[in-house]
Amino acid sequence: MKKEKKEYIIFAPINQYGGVNLDVGFLALLISEEYSVIVISLGNFYSNSSVFLFDKNLNYNSLDRIIYNNNFLVKFLTNLICIIKPIKIPKHFRVENLITKSQFINLNKIKLAYIEKEILKADVIVLCSQLTSNYMKEIVDIAHSHNKKIIFRTTGQINKNQLSDENKVWFKKVSVFIHHSKKSQGILKEFMQSGEHKVIDQNACFEEEFLKIPIRKKNISRFFTLSRLHESKGIDTAISAFLKVSGIEDTLTIYGDGADEKRLKKIANNSPTIIFNGKVDFKDVPKIFSENDCLIISSKFEAGPYSGIESMAAGTPLISTRVGAMEERLPNYSYFYDGSEEELERLMKLMKVLSIEDIQVISRNLRKIYLNAYTESTIRELYNVNFE
């Protein structure tokens, strides 16, 4: 039975897919086992959002959708915009428009009033976001003014431009920060010189399916990337390196979609061994790992990344930049690279000539690390100890 005296509210920039959704979904599931919890997205609302992976009955909505459904004037003006310029997506996606954002309507003031109304109902406020995403400062200021406990689960890599004296003022109002890695923890803790900072990483969604993937009994020839197609993911480096080292039997499959797709396809130059596979449902991700041999993580900025955890659970060899939490996850791993095309070429060549026995040693070690420190039960326990 839920404890009625404590209510949590989670604010996060949730959309259809993304690592933030997984953090939020998992946190909401854990909290809901003892307390009441609602999730309010600061992004768009999707009825098929991956935030529902953990709990199909999650009490989840988006700020724009709530405002659209509850403010007559905003709804009227948004509908008017949609008549002038019809759209196929839900109308609440258009709540942010030139009319509603004008000084006469002041949509931002309406949103902040609703945020404060919800904060007043809750006992604990949880933020799951990059440090300085939209509304983070305002939510912290409002929650602190009402003496609410504030837990900030940081996502994304902490950047120096976020560490200003102006931001420090409201950072110090947060009760506890939870980071993916000691690297992120250390950067913010050193900057603030105060506050409570915890480290809790992630576990793999569909953990059981990943752990069932057999240890490989073949040489490495099927490379792949799994992420949004965004410039920061460094997929162009993976493509260029692959084109220089690949043989006739090798493939590179690019899973995901995004704004960088057109540019990446141009770099691939219609190579028959480079396959763009498009967006992937989370439920299909274990199959992707079982059907490929080596994950390439070329990201320049990330807190995790999540695919690294999945690779460990699957026992899938990987080549990675030293991004986010990766070095802490794999402290003695031999296949990190500096982000350069030349270094990635070298490591891909090494992977291709590994014996099956060596590949199996790598695979078993990756899974062993996962089982020792990153299982769902382990991450649950860390939250149970720290997330009060």
pLDDT of 387 reads 58
Higher pLDDT, 335 or 195: 335
What percent of the chain is modeled with pLDDT above 90?
76
- pLDDT one-digit tens code per residue, 60-81: 999 999 999 999 999 999 998 8
Question: Domains (ranges, CATH) in the chain?
Answer: 7-199 (3.40.50.2000), 207-373 (3.40.50.2000)
> Does residue 114 contact residue 67 with C-beta atoms inside 8 Å?
yes
Query: Average pLDDT of 73-92?
Result: 89
Higher pLDDT, 268 or 84: 268
Helix (H), strand (E), coil (C) string for the chain? CCCCCCEEEEEECCCCCCHHHHHHHHHHHHHHCCCEEEEEECCCCCCCCHHHHCCCCCCEEEHHHHHHHHCHHHHHHHHHHHHHCCCCCCHHHHCCCCCCCCCCCCHHHHHHHHHHHHHHHCCEEEEEECCCCCCHHHHHHHHHHCCCEEEEEECCCCCHHHCCHHHHHHHCCCCEEEECCHHHHHHHHHHHCCCEEEECCCCCCCHHHHHCCCCCCCCCCEEEEECCCCHHHCHHHHHHHHHHHCCCCCEEEEEECCCCHHHHHHHHCCCCCEEEEECCCHHHHHHHHHHCCEEEECCCCCCCCHHHHHHHHHCCCEEEECCCCHHHHCCCCCCEECCCHHHHHHHHHHHHHCCHHHHHHHHHHHHHHHHHHCCHHHHHHHHHHHCC
What pLDDT was estimated at residue 84? 87
Chain mean pLDDT for the chain: 92
Contact indicator for 12, 129 with CB cutoff of 8 Å: yes
For the chain, first and last CA: distance in Å?
18
Query: Distance between CA atoms of 289 and 311, rounded to whole angstroms?
Result: 7
Q: How many CA atoms within 13 Å lie on the side-chain side of 130? A: 17
Strands 318-321 and 251-255: unpaired
Paired tokens of 13: 């920039």
Six-digit token pair at 257? 């979609």
Q: How far apart are CA 172 and CA 270, in angstroms?
A: 52
Instruction: Give the pLDDT confidence score for residue 16 in this predicted structure.
Output: 87
The pLDDT of 184-193, averaged and rounded, is 92
| Residue 107 CA, distance from chain mean position | 28
- Residue 3 has a pLDDT of 45
Judged against a pLDDT cut of 90, whether residue 9 lies above it is answered with yes
Q: What is the predicted pLDDT for the residue at 5?
A: 65
Higher pLDDT, 51 or 385: 51
Q: Tell how far CA 25 is from the center of its chain.
A: 11
Confidence of residue 1 (pLDDT cuts 50, 70, 90): very low
Q: Provide Rg for the chain, Cα atoms.
A: 22
**How many whole angstroms separate alpha carbon 265 and alpha carbon 112?**
42
What's the pLDDT tens digit per position in 276-334?
999 888 889 999 999 999 999 999 888 889 999 999 999 999 999 999 899 999 999 99
**Closest-CA residue to 158 (of 329, 324, 339, 338):** 324
Give the tens place of pLDDT for each residue, 207-238: 999 999 999 889 999 999 999 999 999 999 99
Q: How far apart are CA 1 and CA 270, in angstroms?
A: 58
Residues 331-388: pLDDT tens digits? 999 999 999 999 999 999 999 999 999 999 999 999 999 999 999 999 999 987 655 5
Q: Which of 34, 57, 184 has the alpha carbon at shortest distance from 123?
A: 34
Over residues 95-126, the pLDDT tens digits come to: 888 888 887 788 999 999 999 999 999 999 99
Task: Please give the pLDDT value at position 304.
Answer: 84
